[in-house]
Amino acid sequence: MGARITSQILVDSVLTDIRAAQRRLAETQKILSTGRRINTPADDPVGTARALGFRTAISTVEQFMSNIDDAKAFAGESEASLRVVIDILHRARELTLSGATGTLNQDQRDIIAREIDELLETLVDQANTKYSDRYLFAGTRTRIAPFETSVDPVSGEITAVSYVGNSERFSVQVSAGVTAAVNEPGDRLFQSVQDTFQTFIGIRDDLRAGDTDSLSNVRIGEIDAVMTQVLDGTALFGARMNRLDLFGQRLEDQVLSFRTQLSETEEADLAETVVTLNSRQNAFEAALSAGARVLQPSLLDFLA
């Protein structure tokens, strides 16, 4: 009886060794196939916790980066729209100077007035520009057109432009506890120092009235004030995009750092893993070979 117990213990021991060698080999094969040394939390509980922290940090930073991309696009569209406005203002100034000269007859001034009226309509269109279903210059009321026009029922021409947005700015979060302003309300861009639309209406009406004194002494000064007002807004958006770029570059560096640390935590050293795999393959084969010799039935087994 004792011989049988001893033999069974030996068999169990050999099988345990073989299974252990097989398990270690399988673990190494999985590491090699996945390229990761942590495939389940049990592989390295501490490393798993660190990896989870890095993933959370990456997700948070990527959300900040998405905020910045959207903000840059919004600010960039705003700046581009204002640059179109600047071109309109340059043309309006040229026409105003031309209309103020005493060499033109009234028919010629009427033609200039029609072009000023067309520029006014284009100006309103630019002030009501949208980006991704949001109006650029409406303050925080981005779902409504910020500027409404009053139109003469007979001529169909614009007689007044009113602002129906609000004077609030909105911001996006660009880092932990840090926000950056994105928009600029239209009343500040087009009607703060000088009412841009009323200036165009005044130029048009002065041209039709043949009022060259007003064109020379009033309207040129008004359009210069409008130009300064819009240029200041353009510079403001440029500065905001530069600030957003700086935040974006810092966040890219952070993501790269977090991804590097995550890789170091989770990923396997492939060269080391191959060496380990060969070693464990040899150990497994040796365990099988030794087990085969031990488990072969002998004459004593039968006698027992």
User: Is the CATH code 3.30.1180.10 the one for domain 67-260?
Assistant: no
Of 4, 8, 58, 9, nearest to 266 by C-alpha is: 58
Q: Where are the domains of the chain?
A: 2-35+268-303, 67-260
Taking only the tens place, the pLDDT of each residue in 144-185 is 999 999 999 999 999 999 999 999 999 999 999 999 999 999
Which residues in the chain come in under a pLDDT of 70?
A: 1-40, 266-304
Bridge partner residues of 180 (DSSP): 172
Read off the pTM: 0.77
195-209 pLDDT, tens per residue?
999 999 999 999 999
Reading phi first (left if > 0) and then psi (alpha if -120 to 50, else beta), residue 19 is in alpha
CA–CA separation, 125 vs 119, rounded Å?
A: 10
Handedness of CA 222, 187, 174, 75 (dihedral sign): negative
**CA distance to 48, 49, 164, per residue, from 44 (Å):** 6, 9, 60
